[in-house]
Amino acid sequence: MANFSEFQPLNENTLIEYIKSIPALSSKLANNFSDISVKEVGDGNLNFVFIVSNSSGSLVIKQALPYVRCIGESWPMTKERAYFESLALKEEGKLCPEHVPEVYHFDRVMSLIGMRYLEPPHIILRKGLIAGVEYPLLAEHISDFMANTLFYTSLLFRSTTEHKRDVAEFCGNVELCRLTEQVVFSDPYKVSEYNRWTSPDLDRDAEAVREDNLLKLEVAELKSKFCERAQALIHGDLHSGSVMVTRESTQVIDPEFAFYGPMGFDIGAYLGNLILAYFSQDGHADQANDRKGYKAWILKSIEDTWNLFHDKFAGLWEKHRNGAGEAYLPAIYNNPEVQLLVQKKYMTDLFHDSLGFGAAKMIRRIVGVAHVEDLESIADTGKRATCERRALNLAKMLLKERRSFESISEIVSAIQQF
């Protein structure tokens, strides 16, 4: 029998031995190991992901490695991220159980999480966006997830005592935060060995990012907010690769970057990835499908996501206005006029934060280390570079001029100008 009292990377054989030793996992397979199937499917940047199934049931095992998988052992990375991912999954699962997979087991020594397998036809949202699939409930579901997880972990709902306790706990996820600081707010704006782009087509564009003083000024402000503003428990990596979908179901996965940070980072990451998907569509268009109808659906999804989030978040605020939340004490904010003033300012600031963070996430996906399959899968480099340049130019404008926008419909109009 293998010994799992010390960390070891699992393979398809040792994983079965591990599952046999954990009742919370083996019971999901009815303790039946005669027809078991194990498949390693981790296509992300960091972890091993195994799908384990038999005729009786299924589960997913995710194991964090002590390095960045897509780079190798030359880039060490803490295994402790699995602990924070399990904490976040459990907390998000409490707040929004319809859209977060259930956690069955966590092993801190092995840096391992056992959780629900999201069975076919669930696919990664990014794959669906590349294939041109419309998801009629996506905006409804994602806005539910964001409104519930962000509101209920903020001071609009909680006391400062509760809030600071959880902020302190998640401060331990510092290495993952530092990785974000590096790849989102630093590397794209300087010469870095990890940066890459579609060369030579975008050589000048990448250089222009590194030479843009106003861009650097704005990204410094966003980095400051990311590092210093413990507004709510954020997923920390809420892009279209962290969402699994069918036409009826939406599940948010992979919150290993979770910490208490600015709400706009999650909202912006998600909207920014939809905008990248929009700009990639011309590269996937062909004679049979010009993708124009699908581009219109993406734009509607962007608009609906923000508007639904805004209304749901404001609705939760109204519902709990006289609750335990200590951001705006009822004894002070005690008349409709002042309540309207603070809510309008809060939501406007959040909108502008979301635009800024979304733009920064777009820029890093074009001239930084980790790109998106939406654009990378465009085989014709000339076409790809054209799509990327349009997205990059929009992102630079949004980052610098975000405060001049008052509504998401103005953003949708702006996207179509590029």
Span 223-250, pLDDT tens digits: 999 999 999 999 999 999 999 999 999 9
Question: pTM for the whole thing?
Answer: 0.97
- Residue 12 has which token pair? 């398809």
**88-120 pLDDT tens trace:** 999 999 999 999 999 999 999 999 999 999 999
Q: Is the pLDDT of residue 43 over 80?
A: no
Q: How many CB atoms lie within 10 A of CB 291?
A: 18
For the structural domain made of 123-417, what CATH number should be given? Answer: 3.90.1200.10
Nearest to 259 by CA among 80, 46, 69: 80
- Report the DSSP pairing between strands 67-68 and 72-76: antiparallel
- Confirm if 357 and 269 have CB atoms less than 8 A apart: yes
Q: Would you call the peptide bond into 121 cis, given omega within 30 degrees of 0 as the criterion?
A: yes
- Confirm if 64 and 82 have CB atoms less than 8 A apart: yes
For residues 411 and 402, give the distance between their C-alpha atoms in angstroms, rounded to a whole number. 9
**Which segments within 56-173 are labelled E, that is strand?**
58-64, 67-68, 72-76, 103-107, 112-115, 123-124
Q: How many CB atoms lie within 10 A of CB 51?
A: 16
The number of C-alpha atoms within 13 Å of 72 and in the hemisphere containing its C-beta is 2
Residue with tokens 């031995």: 17
**In the chain, where are the structural domains located?**
12-115, 123-417
Q: Name beta bridge partners: 115.
A: 60, 103
Average pLDDT over residues 277-294: 98
Average pLDDT over residues 23-39: 96
Q: Is the pLDDT of residue 11 over 70?
A: yes
For residues 77 and 64, give the distance between their C-alpha atoms in angstroms, rounded to a whole number. 9
Q: Is the pLDDT of residue 1 over 60?
A: no
CA angle 332, 335, 340 (to 5 degrees): 100
- Note the CATH architecture for domain 12-115: 2-Layer Sandwich (3.30)
